[in-house]
Amino acid sequence: MSKRLEGKTALITGAGSGIGRAIATVFAREGVRVAVADINADAAKKTVESLPNEGLVIEMDVSSKQAVKAGVDLAIQAFGHLDILVNNAGIVSFASFEACTEEDWDRIININLKGTFLCAQAVLPHMKSRSSGVIINLSSLAGKTGGTAASPAYAAAKAGISSLTLSLARTLAPHGVRAVGISPGIIDTPMTASPAHDSMKASIPLGQVGQPEDIANCALFLASDEARHITGEIVDVNGGLFMD
């Protein structure tokens, strides 16, 4: 490995499994000290134990402002500074408009969209004071299509994340801080194991579903100096399932 992020630090939410764990692993291999945040502390611990360098376990409910602030403060205190935030934590639902309850709606929005906002808000003073930093938000193909498989709440939350990323990018550019997004298609994780995704998987132009490492490698590029002139961009990683 080139260690192209040597000396950098990152906080990755939802990093106890799936895409978040893959990002933590790829980042750590490139020299990043990673704070692994997850609502499941045991899962976060397993990720940290698998990393090749120093890591930090943070039990965090991203829908709680108090928990987010405490987690961000802990990461900065432990590492001395925070260079990268990856807002990956999220949940999916397949409920139809008719079946989506108010409780379902609130839970999806609070974790996926509000959680992204709270984490970004919490790191802003630190990154602005250093005139440096990168925020990477995980959106979704559902945010563009309206959710052909996922619920309307999930699609709305992910579309909101994409829009929030643009707002962050414009606000933070004068301070030397970048905000970018990644929009995964069908990635091989438990979230896409539902039969609702079968027809979409069969129609991927590149002929196969993506792997968590495909998203992690995109995040690595966006976090690096190679992407220093990229902000406000939402990168599609979907095997050609959606092209624009």
Question: If 0-12 CB within 10 Å is exposed, 13-18 middle and 19+ buried, where does residue 204 land?
Answer: middle
Name the phi and psi angles at 233, rounded to 5.
Answer: -105, 140
Active site residue 11: no
For residue 52, the tally of other CB atoms under 10 A from its CB is: 10
Which residue among 115, 154, 180, 192 is the active-site one? Answer: 154
Catalytic residues: 154
